[in-house]
A and B are shown apart, each in its own frame.
Chain A
Amino acid sequence: EIVLTQSPATLSLSPGERATLSCRASQSVSSYLAWHQQKPGQAPRLLIYDASNRATGIPARFSGSGSGTDFTLTISSLEPEDFAVYYCQQRSNWPYTFGQGTKLEIK
């Protein structure tokens, strides 16, 4: 099973700042990594698929990069609605796995 480790666990930033979230895989997942955003009481929402492709309707301030074992989700300038929990997820190998999440909170 591929283990995904996200860092940091919590990230405290202010609106307008740049956010950088990391996801490291225990073995290569090629580019088969997605990022999901989850707000309290809501279902997750796909932001990025295949490491760097924005899903439909996702604003351009969200970008993804990386391949192999190291991946990054960047939010260029935080909006108030971006404060949420972010999960990475790999679809390279069964069983599919998720990272433990990074909570992005308002500073």
Chain B
Amino acid sequence: QVQLQESGPGLVKPSETLSLTCAVSGYSISSGYYWGWIRQPPGKGLEWIASINHFGSTYYNPSLKSRVTISLDTSKNQVSLRLSSVTAADTAVYYCARGLAFDYWGQGTLVTVSS
């Protein structure tokens, strides 16, 4: 059974860099599939942030591209996301998900940007 588990700092100060990790179990990320990050501000809808395939090709939402980096750590079977220069508008639940249609999702991790 494929499982995804996000982890992150919970609270980040404005202008700092947010770093999130998605630990994948039940599937080797180096075997295939795309892996993505999606976020959801409190009470709002879903926003796709970025995706990466097992070759390391990356795709970013243009609205965030200048601040976002997605990467794979195949040795740890993890997918990572870095978001720089955060503001209150980046407060959201961050999800990782597998594939192009997002067939498996993590449970999400809430990140609050506040001083």
Contacts and interface: CB of A to CB of B under 8 A. Distances in A.
- The answer to whether A and B interact is yes
Interface of A: 1, 32, 34, 36, 42-46, 49-50, 55-56, 87, 89, 91, 94-101
Contacts, number: 55
Contacts of A36: 46, 102
A70 B101 CA distance: 18
8 contacts: A42-B107, A46-B103, A87-B45, A87-B46, A91-B101, A95-B61, A96-B100, A100-B45
Interface string B46-59: 11100100000001
Contacts of B107: 42-43
Nearest to B4: A43
A49 B59 contact: no
A43 B108 contact: yes
Contacts of B106: 43
A2 to B, nearest CB: 11
A100 to B, nearest CB: 5
Contacts of A1: 62
B17 to A, nearest CB: 22
Interface hub of B51, B63, B102, B104 (most chain A Cβ within 10 A)? B102
